[in-house]
Amino acid sequence: MNVNRYVELIKMCGCPCLACKDLIQKINTKLIEELLKLEEYLQKEVIINSGRRCEAENARVGGYVFSPHIYGKAVDITVKGIDLIELALICEKFAFLRIGIYPNHIHLDMVTPNPSHFWYVRKYGEAPIYSGSIKNLNEFLKKLKI
């Protein structure tokens, strides 16, 4: 394991607001380990768009009230040169418990699936489409005709 990159990812996953900037923030270690494995697999750096968020920052960005981001159990990512659908399908090979596909990022978290393992948001402001009992991302995407 690349310890330096591990530390970098933890820092990148911290809440960006001024109130939290200098605080030691708890980030789920399994989440960071899986991100490292993903980077190793891709041979590319994962870009963290959003990691842990305090409740105030979560509200500011319009996050779900009980978002796993608040607890340091979620990240929103992109990877340069990789389409979001392709990235989501790759992420399914790892131990992330839930995967959400948004217009400009992939949400990954370490929370027991409820209401489903996967969801898709076609456009910001629209409700997510959940996979329900479907446990395979490719099947879910086929059902959505994506």
Q: Check which CATH number belongs to the domain holding 73 and give it.
A: 3.30.1380
Buried b / exposed e over 10-28, threshold 16 CB at 10 Å, is bebbbbeeeebeeeebebb
Per cent of the chain over pLDDT 90 is: 89
| Domain coverage including residue 123 | 3-144
Say how far apart CA 23 and CA 21 lie, in whole Å. 6
Structural domain total, the chain: 1
Taking 90 as the threshold, does the pLDDT of residue 137 lie above it?
Answer: yes
Q: What is the pLDDT of residues 60-86, one digit of tens each?
A: 999 989 999 999 999 999 999 999 999
Average pLDDT over all residues of the chain: 95
pLDDT band at 56; cut points 50, 70, 90: very high
pLDDT at res. 22: 79
